[in-house]
Amino acid sequence: MKPPVDWQDERSPEGILLVDKPAGVSSHAVVARVRKALSIRKVGHAGTLDPDATGLLVVGVGRATRLLGHLTKTMKSYTSTIRLGVGTDTDDAAGQVLDMVGCHDVTDDQVRSAFSSQVGTIDQVPSAVSAVKVDGKRAYSRVRAGESVDLAARRVTIHALDVLGIHRDALRSDIDSVTMVDVDILVTCSAGTYIRAIARDVGASLGIGGHVVTLRRTRAGDFHIGEASSLHEVTEAGSVSRRWLMSMRDAAMRSMPHFLIDDESARAVRHGRKIPWPGEGNSPTSEPTALIGADSLVGIAERSGAQARYLAVFD
């Protein structure tokens, strides 16, 4: 956890709070607890974690909720244990078992090769029980209502996938026992990648099924789990947990392309007046860019010709 800083400001809190989400708590519930701890209504999060997953949840407080869509669009990292030989209807341990297939004929080299085949830019079909919206309704809501959901593949990038360990054991059912394989992995991937889909697809490629047993997010964009406070610490600290808020300025400078602008330009931005694009000719043309004043985040803009077009202004 990042050490607390001295905080004397009694104004309504705002900033980015990094939370280590425990298992058994939804991302929505984390937001509710932060809202209660800080006594502020305006709280949101970037990148939903399943209730059984743990790890880094980036939470925006106050005006920082407007930043969330810009902060974690890049890479994310996860550790996970994937069980091969057992398939479930949700592709994770919370679902109903669909099939159990013995893995005694599957070698460690075949397991490693199957995971290696996932690395690179691939077209991945999200798990049916996911937060993907289908005609305005979450896929998991449709599945739980008894509907059949057919999701389209999405282009994702698996930058790296390391197999950390392979463990074999017998799993007993009411009828028989099968040899299963638990595989510990470390994945670095683009936002929007489903680790459950990796488990499903690796299992399918080996003809034995697969699902996620444990999942922990260790990185989201340029934020890391080592900087996070536990949810227990936040709820116990109450309003004092504002000490762990990262300023919008610091969060934007860490996570986005940015330009430092002078006081005159900052006043113009805050009043909605156009300013020339502050970068050189080879500066970003379409990527959202933070405009940084002397002591605060002034706005987010993109280049439009020779001028800055504002996507958000923080007055």
Report the catalytic residues. 50
CA 59, distance to chain mean position in Å, is 11
Chain centre distance of CA 246:
18
**Degrees, nearest 5: CA angle 92-93-97:** 90
* Helices 108-116 and 195-206: angle between axes, nearest 10 degrees: 130
Count of other CB atoms within 10 angstroms of residue 267? 14
Contact 104, 126 (CB under 8 A): no
Lookup: tokens for 284: 């970003």
Residue type, 189: C
Q: Distance (Å, rounded) from C-alpha 57 to C-alpha 42?
A: 16
Residue 247 near residue 254 (C-beta atoms within 8 A): no
